[in-house]
């Protein structure tokens, strides 16, 4: 296996999350050798971060063919993920792809099949569900698997944000044509679902959901804006548009059987919202078993509350 500091990474996309990948890679000792985006944005990112190779015009195929790239990080808008993933795999490149993997389950299945064809000797492919790797989440997973909480009964939780609270808040994720029909649930809700699945060691087998769009019509600038940018509404010309993605939703899940035997048919429910005032990135979950419970919130990532019926909570 190639040591991390010998790997050379190429970044596709130059938006909000791309710098997060670049900084994380460098902290791990991975060389970032290439960046791909528009001519202007790719050159700007390369200059800012000292990246030697620039692939403008969104020419991801040229980046995939580059002899200076071993692994590709896909941080582009959702609608481009499948095409870019399949092309990178065809060139034998390892891939880290931002979620969602595809706009639909049918699209996602194409990538899954391509990875399976490569087998164990083929490229490594991963989707960026980062909550799995918080020490507290790993600890909860170990507690469940050891039986510290007994048989798991049910799970409750939420993922709340407020960055799309106002009807003048805008980002490409609001458009189904750019990000997919599921926005709040697909963009942040899947982080919660993946974290719960990881902790339980079981996959969801049934789902029921209600989703709702509070702002039926929003206002958007005539030009694109960066995610989380502070563009004053009064300073730009706005135009109304009909919203075709949800602002919030309620999700019910039933999970299958885990190999460790402590989870079988566990029920879970979550509230997901991007219009929850005061919540910046509040992913919370509580797992309740016959011997105890654990609670965790991403906003206090190093703390777990352990609950007992007949003993003090810790």
| pLDDT confidence of residue 222 | 79
Beta bridge partners of 271: 158, 250
| pLDDT confidence of residue 15 | 92
Ramachandran assignment for 255, one of left (phi > 0), alpha (psi -120 to 50 degrees), beta (any other): beta
| pLDDT confidence of residue 231 | 54
Domain 4-128 has CATH 3.40.50.720: yes
Residue 138 DSSP SS3: helix
60/72 Cα distance (integer angstroms)? 10
Task: Pick the closest to residue 274 from 199, 229, 215, 209 (CA basis).
Answer: 215
Q: Are strands 94-97 and 248-255 parallel, antiparallel or unpaired?
A: unpaired
Q: Where are the domains of the chain?
A: 4-128, 131-307
| pLDDT confidence of residue 234 | 52
Burial 128-165 (b: 16+ CB within 10 A, else e): bbebeeeebbeebbebbbeebbeebeebbbbbbbbebb
Burial 214-247 (b: 16+ CB within 10 A, else e): ebeebbbeeeeeeeeeeeeeeeeeeeeeebebbb
Q: Are strands 204-212 and 217-221 parallel, antiparallel or unpaired?
A: unpaired
- Per-residue model confidence as pLDDT tens for the chain (314 residues): 677 778 999 999 999 999 999 999 999 999 999 999 999 999 999 999 999 999 999 999 999 999 999 999 999 999 999 999 999 999 999 999 999 999 999 999 999 999 999 888 899 999 999 999 999 999 999 999 999 999 999 999 999 999 999 999 999 999 999 999 999 999 999 999 999 999 999 999 999 999 999 999 999 997 766 665 665 555 578 999 999 999 999 999 999 999 999 999 999 999 999 999 999 999 999 999 999 999 999 999 999 999 999 999 99
Sign of CA dihedral 287, 293, 294, 295: positive
| pLDDT confidence of residue 38 | 94
| pLDDT confidence of residue 237 | 85
80/41 Cα distance (integer angstroms)? 17
Q: What is the CATH number of domain 131-307?
A: 3.30.360.10
| pLDDT confidence of residue 6 | 85
DSSP assignment letter at 278: T
Query: pTM for the full model?
Result: 0.91
């Amino acid at each position: 296996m190639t040591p991390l500091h010998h790997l050379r990474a190429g970044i596709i996309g130059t938006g909000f999350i791309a710098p997060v990948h670049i900084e994380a890679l460098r902290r791990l000792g991975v060389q970032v050798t290439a960046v791909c985006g528009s001519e202007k944005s790719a050159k700007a990112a390369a200059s800012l971060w000292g990246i030697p190779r620039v692939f403008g015009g969104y020419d991801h195929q040229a980046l995939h063919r580059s002899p200076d790239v071993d692994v590709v990080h896909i941080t582009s808008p959702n609608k481009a993920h499948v095409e870019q993933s399949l092309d990178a795999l065809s060139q034998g490149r390892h891939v880290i792809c931002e979620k969602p993997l595809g706009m639909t389950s049918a699209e996602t299945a194409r990538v899954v099949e391509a990875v399976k064809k490569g087998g164990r000797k083929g490229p490594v492919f991963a989707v960026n569900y980062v909550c799995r790797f918080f020490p507290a989440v790993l600890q909860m997973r170990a507690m469940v698997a050891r039986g510290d909480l007994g048989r798991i009964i049910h799970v409750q939780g939420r993922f709340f944000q407020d960055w799309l609270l106002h009807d003048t808040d805008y980002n490409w994720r609001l458009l189904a044509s750019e990000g997919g029909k599921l926005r709040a649930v697909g963009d942040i809700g899947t982080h919660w679902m993946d974290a719960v699945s990881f902790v339980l060691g079981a996959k969801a087998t049934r789902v029921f959901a209600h989703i709702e769009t509070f702002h039926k019509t929003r206002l958007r600038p005539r030009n694109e804006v960066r995610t989380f940018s502070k563009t004053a509404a009064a300073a730009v010309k706005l135009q109304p548009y009909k919203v075709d993605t949800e602002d919030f939703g309620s999700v019910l899940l039933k999970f299958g059987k885990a190999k460790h035997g402590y989870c079988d048919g566990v029920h879970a429910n979550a509230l997901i919202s991007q219009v929850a005032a005061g919540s910046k990135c509040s992913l919370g979950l509580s797992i309740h078993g016959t011997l105890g419970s654990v609670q965790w919130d991403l906003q206090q990532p190093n703390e777990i509350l352990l609950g007992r019926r007949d003993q003090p909570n810790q």
